[in-house]
């Protein structure tokens, strides 16, 4: 066991054993896979005064394994003839995820010289469109141009590795020049790859250039797993798992939330207590200046989530 709440009944598990087990797991670079189902996997003397339940069975994996199987789920099978509940490891659980494409600006595009021309051309082609139309056309042009860049980076990185391996043993001037040029391109591609995963990891406290690509990739994978909706509990406490059932529960929840019930009488304006003073109200009606908008935009972290148009602060700060 790793925590005190993983035991119910009997004597308290010694703290030194808990800490020792946790230290061993950390030293081995392992992480608990968690579980779905019954918390306690072992029991003794059910129904008796000395009834004991413990979580003795669990699954561990390292970061490399979790990156290979990001959707893996450890399930506790709750029907067993043994005093231990069996565990079932499902590697690729099909989860409900919202479908449909939505444009999102990629920060790695800013590392490409052509990005400025793509934005400029999209803006000019928009002609007499309003600002919303121009932004939408820019998004279409950017997606057409840069939608496959991340996959191209992967291919080029692999090509650079092979070329560096081939050129490493050469001592002639041409070989040395080719090696240095290839190494420079390789480092540039790694930098772009780091920006790509950093944007998805939402780890704002780390700076670019720290070469933490694996760290960012792991956090991005964990975010994707945490954002998955496997099942949802309805108003009656019953778990719903299919796509249609989950949508129904969400719709029902918000319908109830925004529907009035048990209203008594009518509420007049006189009963509403005034909270905003006349001075504050006048300030709220003051037109927003360009400088104020710019201050707000440039105070935001470039990797913050994008708006409905798909553009994040990095785009507006650059253009």
- Extract the tokens encoding 143: 């997606």
- Residue 161 near residue 187 (C-beta atoms within 8 A): no
- Find, among 48, 33, 37, the residue nearest to 86 by Cα: 37
CA 227/CA 97 separation, integer angstroms: 9
Identify the pLDDT of residue 111.
87
Residue 85, classified by CB atoms within 10 Å of its CB into exposed (0-12), middle (13-18) or buried (19+), is buried
Identify the pLDDT of residue 209.
46
- Extract the tokens encoding 188: 């540039």
Residue whose pair of structure tokens reads 């979580």 in the numeric block = 55
- Find, among 31, 23, 18, 100, the residue nearest to 64 by Cα: 31
Q: What is the pLDDT along the chain (319 residues), one digit of tens a residue?
A: 888 889 988 888 899 998 999 999 989 989 888 888 888 888 888 778 888 989 989 999 998 888 788 778 888 886 656 788 888 888 875 544 555 568 889 888 988 889 999 999 988 888 888 988 999 999 999 999 988 888 888 899 889 989 988 888 888 888 889 989 998 998 888 888 888 777 776 655 455 444 555 555 565 556 666 667 777 888 888 888 888 888 888 898 888 888 877 766 666 666 677 788 889 999 889 998 999 999 999 998 888 888 888 899 989 999 8
- Find, among 102, 108, 169, 172, the residue nearest to 139 by Cα: 102
Q: Residues 6 or more apart from 302 whose CB is under 8 A from it?
A: 107, 312, 313, 314, 317
CA 64/CA 62 separation, integer angstroms: 6
CA 117/CA 146 separation, integer angstroms: 12
pTM over 0.85: no
Identify the pLDDT of residue 40.
87
Residue 305, classified by CB atoms within 10 Å of its CB into exposed (0-12), middle (13-18) or buried (19+), is exposed
Element holding 52 (H helix, E strand) = strand 52-54
CA 44/CA 31 separation, integer angstroms: 27
- Find, among 272, 300, 225, the residue nearest to 69 by Cα: 225
């Amino acid at each position: 066991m790793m925590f005190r709440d993983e035991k119910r009944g009997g004597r308290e598990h010694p703290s030194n054993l808990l800490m020792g087990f946790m230290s061993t797991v950390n030293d081995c670079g392992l992480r608990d896979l968690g579980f779905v189902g019954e918390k306690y996997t072992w029991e003794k003397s059910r129904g008796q005064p000395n009834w004991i339940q413990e979580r003795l069975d669990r699954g561990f994996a390292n970061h490399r394994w979790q990156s290979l199987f990001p959707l893996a789920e450890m399930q506790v099978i709750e029907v067993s003839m043994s005093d231990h509940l069996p565990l079932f490891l499902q590697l690729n659980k099909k989860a409900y995820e919202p479908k449909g494409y939505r444009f999102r600006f990629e920060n790695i595009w800013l590392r490409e010289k052509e990005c400025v021309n793509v934005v400029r051309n999209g803006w000019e082609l928009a002609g007499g469109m309003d600002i919303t139309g121009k932004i939408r056309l820019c998004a279409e042009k950017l997606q057409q141009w840069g939608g496959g860049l991340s996959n191209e980076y992967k291919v080029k990185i692999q090509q650079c590795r092979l070329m560096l391996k081939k050129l490493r043993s050469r001592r002639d001037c041409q070989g040395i020049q080719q090696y240095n040029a290839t190494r420079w391109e390789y480092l540039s591609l790694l930098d772009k790859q780091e920006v790509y995963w950093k944007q998805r990891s939402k780890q704002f406290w780390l700076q670019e250039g720290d070469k933490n690509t694996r760290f960012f990739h792991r956090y991005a994978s964990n975010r994707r797993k945490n954002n998955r909706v496997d099942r949802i509990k309805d108003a009656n406490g019953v778990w719903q798992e299919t796509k249609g059932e989950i949508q129904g529960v969400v719709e029902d929840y918000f319908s109830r939330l925004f529907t009035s019930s048990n209203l008594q009488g009518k509420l007049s304006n006189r009963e509403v207590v005034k909270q905003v003073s006349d001075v504050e109200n006048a300030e709220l009606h003051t037109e927003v200046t360009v400088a104020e908008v710019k201050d707000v935009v440039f105070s935001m972290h470039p990797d913050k989530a994008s708006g409905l148009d798909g553009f994040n602060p990095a785009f507006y700060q650059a253009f």
